[in-house]
Structure 1
Amino acid sequence: MAHVHTIESRLGRFVETPVGGEIVRAFMPPALPPQPPIDILSLLPHLSLAERALGRLDGITTLLPRQELFLYMYVRKEAVLSSQIEGTQSTLTDLLRFETEAQAGQPIDDIREVSNYVDAMMFGLERLKELPLSLQLIREMHGRLLQSGRGGTKSPGEFRRSQNWIGGTRPGNALFVPPPVMELDTCLAAFEAFMHEDKSRLPALIKAGFLHVQFETIHPFLDGNGRIGRLLVTLYLCVHGVLRRPLLYLSLYLKTHRADYYRLLQEVRERGAWEAWLEFFLKGIADTANQAFDAATRIVDLFRADRERITAESDRAGSALRIHELLQQHPFLTAGQLVTQTGLSMPTVNAALADLERLGIVKEVTGRKRGRVFGYRRYLAILSEGTDPLPVAA
């Protein structure tokens, strides 16, 4: 029976709390790290594959002609994916075109949410220069995430003051009820303490896996918990030097395996099954880093091959190369933007664009005669992999 007792201490406890006229059992997670400690030996093969994949990714980013350019695109891809897990239907192309044609009236709510996510992420990375990764930083990022669009009514930047729940129509029939409001401060204080402790000497990747689950379990906001919880992983790895640039985002992996993801979170809560979750998490880190490495390599090759084709086959190689250069930074551009940014005349820009269209490098995407938008076709195809919205449940 001793074994049962040991796992017991990994389990949380339930607190009865009145919500809307019924008594609900809300869950209180035990503080981290789990007791008894996780079986780290069984996780070592997964840990070393994840660390190796991250090292490779870090290595190639130093070879990219413009690191910040890859980062710029990658952050946008993550914003789209992370928002899709929460049910938005916008694609990477929607976001990039919205940013290109920002003058085209008010954006739809979905794109606004995605662009808030980009803002929250960039804000968080910048803010880490002055502030440690902390509850305050998490709240500030949340404020940016929900600053406008549908989240405006969900207490941006504030921890919740009412009971929330996951699944079901009310707390009484929910799949999971997070800690009650009166226990929230205790849970969050323990969460923050674990973020900064070094007594456990756990590898940063393992700690990041713990923190993500604990944050989702505490569910401290009325909205945006999933998105902030995913961002937290990347920020934590940057702070601890596992990543030099914030190029690792788990949303595509979690979107692809979302049934497993939700099941494993629930098994940690119900059975203390941390090892199964960590194995899934580390595999996700390795897969994601390998995908990013592969995309970065293909992008570098594409840029080089297209430069060579333009040089060899374009009648206007000089101006076409300048435009190609700008399309690497913004894969959608209008002729007007190109005139402003290159200083070339409109006829020259139009002639060079026609040439790039003939070579199959750019494609006009609006079908309009005026205000035409040109997209860097193959670059967008690599960036967009995996970003089709999830089918809407009937």
Structure 2
Amino acid sequence: MKRELQGHYVPITTPGEQAQAFVPAPLPPDPPIEWGPALRGKFDQALLALGRLDSVSTLLPDTGLFIYMYVRKEAVLSSMIEGTQSSLSDLLLFELDEEPGVPLDDVQQVSNYVAALDHGLKRLAEGFPISLRLFREIHEILLSMGRGSHHTPGDFRRSQNWIGGSRPGNAVFVPPPPDQVLDCMGALERFLHDEPEATPVLLKAALAHVQFETIHPFLDGNGRLGRLLITLLLCEQNVLRMPMLYLSLYFKTHRQYYYDLLNTVRLTGDWGAWLDFFAEAIIVTATQAVDTAQQLVALSAADRDKIQQLGRAAASTLTVHNALMGHPITTAGSLVENTGLTPATVNKCLKRLTSLGIVHELTAQKRNRVYSYAGYIAIMNQGTELPV
């Protein structure tokens, strides 16, 4: 079905020139999306992949430990798309109060993302709906410290923004003018709450992501919050019991095509190409997450088998190993806190784990040594080393 521009342009005046800002039409698309056999089959595959991902939590000895690290990996990847250079190890060092190997602003931005996601998930667990208020709360935390903290955290923008170029007049895309942001976001909120009609959750997530990025309601942080929206929706609607799906790596890998698709939807109404891409992103990402979980289970089991060979020393060493699963970059002092073991016992355990090749020391110093559960970090780092 031939479609047209998915909204309308309004003239805006900027110093020395005029430009055109785009105001999107409310969701759902009109006329309705046509579901051919190929697209419907792709969405069925995506739902199956999500089902497998949701069930993988039963394989994990401690789902909380996996989620703890997986959320941090997503924070690194999502922030990489925005230009930060922080790695997963940098973030873990920062959280350990150790000096990261990148500018502090970069790692602070990633840390903010973790806190923002945690806040959003906590609010959903309390029964709070995805809403404009929740968007503002998450945004306030996302930009609370470091780079972006001067961009009115928690407030919808009151000035014009643009994407690409040096000004609205030569921009790749100009979102709605500030006086129309609240109306646009209000319409998006109604769509999320199934007004004027109910929308299947996976389709809702796909459409809402495009709409949020098109409105670009904040001065900064829109990309990160728009990606978070997908996971929050899947958790709110109980498609996933745990926040185990993040599309940032897929969007990062196919970044230019992703941006082109967003623009094509706005200009031509080609929702089909975007939905096909979105479903593929779900399938690939969910499959990768299952594989990551299985690799971590295998690593943990293999390392525990090695530790069991230590005889009487195995019990305390397994306790330290379990703590490393939750905090794979750590210090002896932190392990004492987390395990309740004495400093002498922890240090003996770390020596045993080092001799077994499970733990590597990151610092060559006599005091305040930093240790890494190298195999765990290597598995979690898969994908974060891609060119930005």
Partner of 1:289: 286
From the superposition, tell whether residues 337 and 122 of structure 1 become closer, same or farther in structure 2 (CA, over 3 Å): same
- Is 1:62 paired with 2:58? yes
Alignment match of 1:246 (pick from 243, 247, 269): 243
Q: How far 1:369 sits from its partner (Å)?
A: 2.3
| Equivalences, count | 386
- Is 1:83 paired with 2:83? no
Partner of 2:135: 138
Deviations 1:159-185 (A, max 9, x none): 000000000011100000001112222
C-alpha distance in structure 1 between counterparts of 2:304 and 2:182, whole Å: 56
Alignment match of 2:110 (pick from 105, 110, 114): 114
Q: How far 1:65 sits from its partner (Å)?
A: 1.2
Q: Mapping of 1:143-158 within 5 angstroms?
A: 143-158=140-155
Which amino acid is the alignment partner of residue 179 of structure 1? P
C-alpha distance in structure 2 between counterparts of 1:265 and 1:70, whole Å: 32
From the superposition, tell whether residues 389 and 161 of structure 1 become closer, same or farther in structure 2 (CA, over 3 Å): farther
C-alpha distance in structure 2 between counterparts of 1:19 and 1:159, whole Å: 20
Alignment match of 2:183 (pick from 176, 180, 186): 186
Partner of 1:325: 322
Mark the runs of 5 or more structure 2 residues left unpaired by the alignment: none
Q: How far 1:315 sits from its partner (Å)?
A: 7.2
Alignment match of 2:164 (pick from 167, 183, 193): 167
Larger CA deviation: 309-318 vs 136-145: 309-318
Assess if the C-alpha contact under 8 Å between 2:45 and 2:283 holds in 1: yes
SS in structure 1 opposite 2:239? coil
Q: How far 1:21 sits from its partner (Å)?
A: 3.1
Which amino acid is the alignment partner of residue 68 of structure 1? G
Partner of 2:350: 353
From the superposition, tell whether residues 197 and 348 of structure 1 become closer, same or farther in structure 2 (CA, over 3 Å): closer
Q: How far 1:200 sits from its partner (Å)?
A: 3.9
C-alpha distance in structure 1 between counterparts of 2:53 and 2:127, whole Å: 27
SS in structure 2 opposite 1:37? coil
Which amino acid is the alignment partner of residue 12 of structure 1? G
Identity of aligned residues (%): 54
SS in structure 1 opposite 2:290? helix
- Is 1:380 paired with 2:368? no
Which amino acid is the alignment partner of residue 271 of structure 2? W
Mark the runs of 5 or more structure 1 residues left unpaired by the alignment: none
- Is 1:22 paired with 2:17? yes
Deviations 1:122-154 (A, max 9, x none): 001111224210011001100000001011110
Query: TM-score if structure 1 supplies the norm length?
Result: 0.94
Alignment match of 1:280 (pick from 277, 297, 312): 277
Assess if the C-alpha contact under 8 Å between 1:306 and 1:361 holds in 2: yes
Assess if the C-alpha contact under 8 Å between 1:84 and 1:390 holds in 2: no
Which amino acid is the alignment partner of residue 380 of structure 1? I
Deviations 1:212-231 (A, max 9, x none): 00000000000000000000
Alignment match of 1:47 (pick from 25, 43, 47): 43
C-alpha distance in structure 2 between counterparts of 1:185 and 1:21, whole Å: 27
C-alpha distance in structure 2 between counterparts of 1:166 and 1:227, whole Å: 15
Assess if the C-alpha contact under 8 Å between 2:358 and 2:373 holds in 1: yes
Q: How far 1:37 sits from its partner (Å)?
A: 1.1
Larger CA deviation: 268-277 vs 332-341: 332-341
- Is 1:202 paired with 2:199? yes
Assess if the C-alpha contact under 8 Å between 1:216 and 1:229 holds in 2: yes
Q: How far 1:201 sits from its partner (Å)?
A: 4.0
C-alpha distance in structure 2 between counterparts of 1:46 and 1:190, whole Å: 28
- Is 1:126 paired with 2:122? yes
Query: TM-score if structure 2 supplies the norm length?
Result: 0.95
Q: How far 1:314 sits from its partner (Å)?
A: 6.5
C-alpha RMSD of matched pairs (Å): 1.9
C-alpha distance in structure 2 between counterparts of 1:101 and 1:147, whole Å: 19
From the superposition, tell whether residues 56 and 314 of structure 1 become closer, same or farther in structure 2 (CA, over 3 Å): same
Q: How far 1:337 sits from its partner (Å)?
A: 1.9
Q: How far 1:343 sits from its partner (Å)?
A: 3.5
SS in structure 1 opposite 2:25? coil
Which amino acid is the alignment partner of residue 254 of structure 1? F
Q: How far 1:335 sits from its partner (Å)?
A: 1.3
C-alpha distance in structure 2 between counterparts of 1:302 and 1:314, whole Å: 20
Deviations 1:221-249 (A, max 9, x none): 00000000000001111111111111111
Partner of 1:222: 219
From the superposition, tell whether residues 339 and 245 of structure 1 become closer, same or farther in structure 2 (CA, over 3 Å): closer
Which amino acid is the alignment partner of residue 374 of structure 1? Y
Assess if the C-alpha contact under 8 Å between 1:14 and 1:25 holds in 2: yes
Assess if the C-alpha contact under 8 Å between 1:89 and 1:390 holds in 2: no
Partner of 2:6: 11
Larger CA deviation: 275-284 vs 184-193: 184-193
Deviations 1:351-378 (A, max 9, x none): 2211111111000012222210111110
SS in structure 2 opposite 1:23? strand
Which amino acid is the alignment partner of residue 388 of structure 1? E
Larger CA deviation: 180-189 vs 136-145: 180-189
Alignment match of 1:371 (pick from 364, 368, 371): 368
